[in-house]
Structure 1
Amino acid sequence: MLAPLVTGLLTGLSLIIAIGAQNAFVLRQGLVREHVGVVVAICAVADAVLIVAGVAGIGTIVERAPVAIDVVRWLGVAFLTWYGVRSLLQARHAGALEAARDRSLTRRSAVVQVTALTFLNPHVYLDTVLLLGSLAAHEGPTGRWWFAAGAAAASLAWFTGLGYGARLLSPLLAKRPAWQVLDVLIGLTMLAIALKLAIT
């Protein structure tokens, strides 16, 4: 069952590596070395649960509930707009990496934010549940679970690498302009995703 496992791994990576709100948040937490473990765990576990749900056939329910997706979409637009504006405002006053650490989040706040960024994005249901679920179905009754295992492993590997590997960029972000650029990029990314959600 190596083939469906590898297929799931590569498919999962292709969907998750794209720059998005969740990845930007994990990157930031990794850079300030704050609550990285819990943030990575939430992202990986959430993806695994959604992948299993899609493979189990729950994607059909999601597909037949457009109203629920619309509610999630507009909540996501509101949250991402708030987060994006906040990041841009922080960029105006940002110092070096040490100053960013001064704006530390409590564990609870980090959990709430990463959970919102994960579940208030309707694309997570369309991509992770529907798309991966339908692709897994082509692998047969047993192969689909190997596919799911590969996709979940891709998620775990990516978020672990992003969260804990971010510290390698710390020397680069020790200077004020670099951290300001990162805050601006995160803010613009969040606003772009919010706009995309609003007009689709």
Structure 2
Amino acid sequence: MISAFINGFVLATALIIPIGPQNLLIFHQGAVQPTFKKSMPTIITSALADTLLIVVAVFGVSFALQAVPFLEPLLYLIGVGFLIIIGWTIWKSNSTTKTFQQKPYSGKKQVFLALSVSLFNPHAILDTIAVIGTYATHYHTRLETVSFAFACILVSWLAFFLLAHAGNRVKQWDKSDRLFTYIQKASAVTIWLLAFYFIYQAFLSR
């Protein structure tokens, strides 16, 4: 159980570090909202959406793979390919500071945008299903699976609060987009390393 929790925590942390549309929106709202509290609609909506995706991925995908065994290697390949492509996209993308308008959003607009980049983003869905859902098949007891899923959910909630808080702090001293460029490059490298780790776990450690 403890091992499953640790593995879930590490895997989810590695997946959530790269700056994608969801993380960017949360960080951005933390930076442009007048107070940290004003960014809560984005944080809560994103966290709840991630929780839903993780639960569906861990339990739904696990059941599907048990019923159709040949889907497992296919999902592994999809997950690795997805990670490599997204890493390259992040590496080549322009400064993220121009992605959103530099003004605070209303609560309703925050909820709408958070749902859009969480539930209707193919990258986020593949990330959750192909990586977290497939990795969950390593565990064969209900307790281990629940521990793994709980760790992944916990990481999402912690990360989103920290991202918004970081945005709130950064706006006080960073007036250029140089920091965001460094973050993008580090995000790309992190996700490539995760892809190689996933290959090892899926094909070489058995």
TM-score computed with the length of structure 1 as normaliser: 0.65
Distance 2:105 2:172 in 1: 21
What CA deviation, in whole Å up to 9, does each residue of 1:88-138 have, x standing for no partner?
695xxxxxxxxx4xx332111111111111122212221212321111121
CA distance in 1, matches of 2:169, 2:104: 19
Equivalent in the alignment of 2:59: 56
- Aligned partners of 1:22 and 1:118 also within 8 Å: yes
Question: Could you tell me whether the CA contact under 8 Å between 1:36 and 1:164 is conserved in 2?
Answer: no
Backbone CA RMSD of aligned residues: 3.0
Choose the corresponding residue for 2:42, options 39, 43, 48: 39
Task: Give the whole-Å Cα distance in 1 for the aligned partners of 2:160 and 2:104.
Answer: 20
Q: CA deviation at 1:27?
A: 0.7
2:32 counterpart letter in structure 1: V
**1:170 maps to what in 2?**
171
Q: Determine which of 79, 98, 103 is the counterpart of 1:87.
A: 98
- Could you tell me how far apart the structure 2 residues matched to 1:110 and 1:88 are? 15
Q: Distance in 2 between matches of 1:89 and 1:56?
A: 35
d(CA) in 2 for partners of 1:88, 1:159: 19
Match of 1:198 in 2: none
| Matched pairs, number | 149
Q: Distance in 1 between matches of 2:165 and 2:61?
A: 32
Which residues of structure 1 form unaligned runs of 5+?
A: 64-83, 91-99, 190-200
What code does the residue aligned with 1:50 have?
L
* Displacement of 1:170: 2.2
Runs of 5+ unmatched residues, structure 2? 66-70, 72-94, 186-206
The equivalent residue for 1:77 is: none
List 4+ stretches of structure 1 deviating above 2 A.
58-61, 86-90
